[in-house]
Amino acid sequence: MPIRATKRGDERGPLSGSHDVLICGASFAGLATARELAGSGADVMVVDRYEIGERQTSACGIPTDWLRATGLMGAERQRFDSLLIHTPHGSRRYELPWTFSTFDYRELCELLWEQCDARFETAKVNGRAASAGGDGAIAVETDRGTLSAPLVVDALGWRRVLASGDGYQPPDAPLSRGLEVHPHGSGPDLEVWIDRRYVPAGYGWSFPAGEELRIGVGSFDPRFHVRETTELLAEDLGQDRVRYQGNWIPHKLRAATEGGVFFAGDSAGHCLPLTAEGIRTALYFGIALGQELRAVHAGRQDRERAAARYAAFNDSHEWKFRWMLRAQKLVPRIPPRLLGPMIKLLGSKRFVAWAFDHYLRIAPPAPLPSAHDQNGAGHQQGDAEHPLGAERNLVEAEQA
């Protein structure tokens, strides 16, 4: 059970002041953005309602190469080179062309934070406040006072707290629903269930992470309540129903900037439809955003240019998210009796390698050759398009 570390009552004094960059949200997207600003000389303030790493927000599964590329291997708990998919009509093991890892949330956040040189305060963000001066600074109201900065990031998750209007509420908004339990236990396999017994549109999972299992159900239909079937899956696996963790999961890309504020991670709908994988995309877009903000601080571009460039980067991924959403809508329509044979048919090593490599390339860890591709032609994406590649370009430009 996560231990509450967040300061309460008198321990939390009033907060005010202006900074070069204000990052709201200290999870994957927010910390990745802050990490890119390290060493830039910018005065960066990060705020979150909880202490860093205090509240786990997911099953914490990610392609291993992403941990490697970001120096976060220390948080890894278990590694998998295959995925076991169960349907009511049979199971199939997919050999993956790259490995997938589970990690410890607290440790990963702490490792990310070690790579930052920002300041941190716990504060609940309530929304935008009226800006005082005409200097272009954006004011943000928190439960401890008002903070302001010319560069403000909303990495607060699906609620998109710093956007205008509140017309994005479940169950009408394009959000999936996810809930999991975290019993003590272990297992050798990364497992997925496509079975209407658990959810009509969605899937169940069991992600082992060392001495803990993360067993859950995700529903693409926000109206379907997943608590009962999460408990059913845990019961079917003979596991305790303890330590619940759940949230809404966006499955549609949203505008990356609005009213001068930058959005990254779930607040921008960066979680992938169908698989609900949102950690590596939060890191990917967070890194890209951090680099744009760094260039603003270095005087190489203004906020408007950074916004235009970041929005273009975001939008260039829209078709990939659209295709994933199409697949998300299609899978539940496949008659259950055809699911088993289809999963078997699509299980050839060549097809799986092709499909998973394309999937990884939506937000690749770095322009590295893929595990199965001996010729090194696995990742076609050029350095300039890739945040981790662009990082090098930026550093070179700064040195020039």
Ligand X SMILES: Cc1cc2nc3c(=O)[nH]c(=O)nc-3n(C[C@H](O)[C@H](O)[C@H](O)COP(=O)(O)OP(=O)(O)OC[C@H]3O[C@@H](n4cnc5c(N)ncnc54)[C@H](O)[C@@H]3O)c2cc1C
- Verify binding: residue 216, ligand X, rule CB under 6 A: yes
Binding flags for ligand X, 273-312, as an x/- string (CB under 6 A): ---xxxxx-x------------------------------
Tokens found for residue 385: 């398009």
Restricted to residues 371-400, the positions that interact with ligand X (CB under 6 A) are none
Q: Which is nearer to ligand X, 77 or 124 (CB)?
A: 124
- Verify binding: residue 175, ligand X, rule CB under 6 A: no
Q: Which is nearer to ligand X, 235 or 383 (CB)?
A: 235
Query: What's the closest the beta carbon of residue 319 comes to ligand X, in angstroms?
Result: 20
Restricted to residues 140-159, the positions that interact with ligand X (CB under 6 A) are 155-157, 159
- Verify binding: residue 191, ligand X, rule CB under 6 A: no
Q: Which is nearer to ligand X, 32 or 42 (CB)?
A: 32
Query: What's the closest the beta carbon of residue 217 comes to ligand X, in angstroms?
Result: 9
- Verify binding: residue 206, ligand X, rule CB under 6 A: no
Q: Near ligand X by CB under 6 A, which window of 176-184, 303-311, 350-358, 359-367?
A: 176-184
Restricted to residues 41-70, the positions that interact with ligand X (CB under 6 A) are 48-50, 55, 57-62
Query: What's the closest the beta carbon of residue 102 comes to ligand X, in angstroms?
Result: 7
Total chain residues near ligand X (CB under 6 A): 40
**In whole angstroms, what is the distance from residue 353 CA to residue 96 CA?**
7
Restricted to residues 76-105, the positions that interact with ligand X (CB under 6 A) are none
- Verify binding: residue 229, ligand X, rule CB under 6 A: no
The single residue among 22, 29, 306, 360 that binds ligand X, judged by CB under 6 A, is 29
Query: What's the closest the beta carbon of residue 281 comes to ligand X, in angstroms?
Result: 7
- Verify binding: residue 202, ligand X, rule CB under 6 A: no
Query: What's the closest the beta carbon of residue 376 comes to ligand X, in angstroms?
Result: 26
User: What residues pair up with 305 in beta bridges, in sequence order?
Assistant: none
**In whole angstroms, what is the distance from residue 20 CA to residue 152 CA?**
9
Q: Which is nearer to ligand X, 208 or 216 (CB)?
A: 216
Q: Which is nearer to ligand X, 340 or 357 (CB)?
A: 357
The single residue among 21, 67, 112, 125 that binds ligand X, judged by CB under 6 A, is 125
The single residue among 77, 124, 243, 300 that binds ligand X, judged by CB under 6 A, is 124
**In whole angstroms, what is the distance from residue 326 CA to residue 321 CA?**
9
Query: What's the closest the beta carbon of residue 77 comes to ligand X, in angstroms?
Result: 12
The single residue among 249, 325, 352, 394 that binds ligand X, judged by CB under 6 A, is 249
**In whole angstroms, what is the distance from residue 303 CA to residue 285 CA?**
17
Q: Which of 255, 245, 254, 290 has its CA nearest to residue 273? A: 254
Binding site for ligand X (CB under 6 A): 25-30, 48-50, 55, 57-62, 124-125, 155-157, 159, 161, 178-180, 216, 245-247, 249, 265-266, 271, 276-280, 282
